[in-house]
Structure 1
Amino acid sequence: MTLRIDISGLPSERLRFAASPLAELTAMLHVLAEPGHHPQFAGWAGDVWAGLRPELAERLREAEFLWRSSQADFLLPARPRPTLAEELDDVDRIDDEAYVTAALVTTCGSNRLRSAAPSPLTDASARERALDLAQARGPRQEAFAERLLADPAAVRARVRRTLEQCADAFFDAAWTGVAVRLATDLRLKHDLLRRQGVGAALASASGAVALAPDGDCIVVDKLQDKATSAHGTGVTFIPSVFGSPHLVVVHAPGWQPVVQYPVAEPGPAEPVPLETVTLRLDALAHPLRLRLLRTLARGPHTTGELAHAWELSRPEVSRHLAVLRRAGLLTSRRHGRYVRHALKVPDLSALGTDLLAAVLR
């Protein structure tokens, strides 16, 4: 499954890599709301929660639907600015219809609100439908949706003030170090764009992002089948330290495509593509292949040895070994007259982590 961004005919300068204080603050808020997704920041999250004033902690809980499961589109700027204040000013310029719709999508957990017509701001039946969806998610979601629909200006002002208080409480201190890492990453991306082109820059951003062979489309490996276009707007790529391991994409109609990608830590390998994870799960779904893996876990074996161990024919064993080899779970090397098959233990043991990473990104 993939999300595709049409960039056919898009001038190269309309593909931007830039840091965003607001997007990074949003990533931090997601860490605070879902620390289990980010064990590397567990200590930081614990310290922040311990130091928050009760009033701000409650404000974060009342609006956490804007960044917990997914981020509201207006929190990932298509045109990043140098400061958080400038980006919040840009958010203030978004009309109520777009702001409320984006907020309701994350609050109600339903993309169906994007195409709702008429608007829940002006139509009673659309409003009731939005409130029903919010109520199904929980009392906090219902209360937030009610306030948002009753007085969008007041809720918008309160959300902005909450974000400004977060800057004072923890963001400004963290941003100083984060900005250095983001600047380093951006220098690399801009150099790749200039020297090797879009494909190399995308590959450097994430193993889950690629340029289609015809160069007309950016393909993002996500657990969804969606498509959007960058015509007339461009695409913005925003690096994130606190966003790891998530790959977040703004792709709703009417919004410029934005991709927030995790800045790689020194050392770890690129994420395994979802296609590879699926291939490996399929390979393990057959009981005979699991038996062969049990034997291979004890050491390398030939096809004949495996056939004898499980009372199978050699052609049958060969077929199953081919499936496991295509999935990247074993290697086959010739030693004289024989070919010995060995289990790739690190790849098999990492499958659970790879699956979780594919689900989360």
Structure 2
Amino acid sequence: MTIDISGLPADAIVFETSPLAELGMALHALSEPGHHPGLHGWVTATAAALPPDLADRLHEAEFLWRNTFSDIFLPFAGVAGGERRAGATLAEDLDTLDRLDEERFVSAALEFTSCTFYGPGTSSPLTDEVTRERARDMAAARGPRQTDFTERLLADPGSVRAWLRRLFEDCEAAFFADTWNRARVPLVADARHKTEVLRRKGLGEAVGAVSAALSLSEDGDRIVVDKLNAARTTATGPGVKPGITLVPTGFGWPHLMIGHAPGWRPVILYPVHRPELPSPASVEFVRLRLEALAHPLRLRLCRNLARSPHTTGELADAHGITSPEVSRHLSVLKKAGLVTTRRRGRYVLHQLDLTVVARLGTDFLEGVLR
């Protein structure tokens, strides 16, 4: 994924916290604890303490944060003519959500249907019957809760907006006020630190400090995001107040969220690094490793190399093939970072890197969830 930043002034790139974005990530963790193994204690305690009525209402709308991360949690990025800044409190963020125009609110709330209602030239489901029917069909394919929500949203967006605000306010009263009080301090500190890195060392250093999955292109005109999906957006497009907002989250790992809807300010929602969390492996490395292990002969070579170091000649003799053929397969495994090589006298020994192989499943999962 790329974000075009050509011509963007340095002061248009900001790091700041958002209580509503953090609430969205917290709700996602409650709905998908398998994505967040480090949060099992918090998830268990919070879920057990939820009032039954609130738990039911969260279940009713969880498709907004479980399988997708709706733009309703980033309303500051979409308010036409606004300053595009997040609120200091959840109430301020919810006030911003109230200021989203009706079409943008409906489009954001219908993201779970995977319909791009807000694409250039796309008619709104509020005014176009064909688009409205497509929204209904896509919601029906996902279940009765989604169908009921969509019907309510299309019939009366204002009542759904009010229902969601009350839901998020009740979350604050039940658990999020305490959660935010604990989470806010390290998030604010991270945003200030990254702002200082940006000011002193430039954008390349700042995005690298955010995540190993972010980088600046050689010409400095694009932020490149290492994700499995491919997309492009711009921080200077028509209808957008130029700039990018980077929002730290304590609940996000391993997700790295990129908000990039036409007419909305691009947002990068990034997990704050903790020492116990590994740096994300690049998608290209994960692909190389899976492809390297997909060959049946290389799998058999790995069996030998996992048990002890072997020379090329020993592997050739063990499998009844030529040394050059073994070398070709070892080259693929080494390029993927799966095999290490060391010299002992006149012998060159190859061995499987067990630590890398042991992380392969985790790297793959982090890559597809990123």
TM-score, with length taken from structure 2: 0.93
Distance 2:307 2:39 in 1: 37
- Does structure 1 retain, via aligned residues, the 8 Å contact 2:153–2:160? yes
State the one-letter code of the partner of 1:175. Answer: W
Partner residue, 1:29: 27
Distance 1:278 1:114 in 2: 32
Question: C-alpha deviations, 1:206-257, integer Å up to 9, x for none?
Answer: 1111111111100111121100000142111101001111111101111110
Identity in percent: 55
Report the CA distance between 1:7 and its aligned residue.
Answer: 0.5
| Match for residue 358 of structure 1 among 355, 359, 367 | 367
Distance 1:213 1:8 in 2: 12
Distance 1:291 1:51 in 2: 51
Report the CA distance between 1:8 and its aligned residue.
Answer: 0.8
| Match for residue 154 of structure 2 among 140, 149, 158 | 149
Q: Does 1:159 align with 2:164?
A: yes
- Does structure 2 retain, via aligned residues, the 8 Å contact 1:105–1:114? no
| Match for residue 115 of structure 2 among 108, 111, 117 | 111
Partner residue, 1:300: 309
Report the CA distance between 1:346 and its aligned residue.
Answer: 0.5
Task: Assess, with a 3 A threshold, how the Cα gap between structure 1 residues 51 and 268 changes in structure 2: closer, same or farther.
Answer: closer
Q: Does 1:229 align with 2:234?
A: yes
Distance 1:270 1:84 in 2: 30
Task: Assess, with a 3 A threshold, how the Cα gap between structure 1 residues 40 and 268 changes in structure 2: closer, same or farther.
Answer: closer
Partner residue, 1:100: 106
State the one-letter code of the partner of 2:20. Answer: L
Partner residue, 1:331: 340
Report the CA distance between 1:112 and its aligned residue.
Answer: 3.5
Partner residue, 2:184: 179
Report the CA distance between 1:85 and its aligned residue.
Answer: 0.9
Report the CA distance between 1:39 and its aligned residue.
Answer: 1.9
Partner residue, 2:39: 41
Distance 1:353 1:83 in 2: 35
Gaps of 5+ in 1: none
Q: SS state of the match for residue 274, structure 2?
A: coil
Partner residue, 2:66: 68
Partner residue, 1:280: 289
State the one-letter code of the partner of 1:266. Answer: P
Comparing 144-153 with 126-135, greater Cα deviation is found at 126-135
| Match for residue 194 of structure 1 among 189, 196, 199 | 199
- Does structure 1 retain, via aligned residues, the 8 Å contact 2:31–2:66? yes
Q: SS state of the match for residue 255, structure 1?
A: coil
| Match for residue 90 of structure 1 among 96, 102, 111 | 96
State the one-letter code of the partner of 1:80. Answer: A
State the one-letter code of the partner of 1:160. Answer: R
State the one-letter code of the partner of 1:71. Answer: F
Distance 1:296 1:326 in 2: 16
State the one-letter code of the partner of 1:315. Answer: P
State the one-letter code of the partner of 1:38. Answer: H
Distance 1:114 1:137 in 2: 20
- Does structure 1 retain, via aligned residues, the 8 Å contact 2:15–2:192? no
Distance 2:122 2:211 in 1: 37
Distance 1:50 1:298 in 2: 46
Report the CA distance between 1:36 and its aligned residue.
Answer: 1.4
State the one-letter code of the partner of 2:116. Answer: R
Q: Does 1:214 align with 2:226?
A: no
Q: SS state of the match for residue 317, structure 2?
A: helix
Q: SS state of the match for residue 90, structure 1?
A: helix
Question: C-alpha deviations, 1:67-98, integer Å up to 9, x for none?
Answer: 11111113124321211111111111110101
Q: SS state of the match for residue 249, structure 1?
A: strand
TM-score, with length taken from structure 1: 0.96
Q: SS state of the match for residue 88, structure 2?
A: coil
Distance 1:339 1:111 in 2: 56
Query: Aligned residue pairs: how many?
Result: 357
Distance 2:53 2:274 in 1: 34
Report the CA distance between 1:125 and its aligned residue.
Answer: 2.8
State the one-letter code of the partner of 1:278. Answer: R
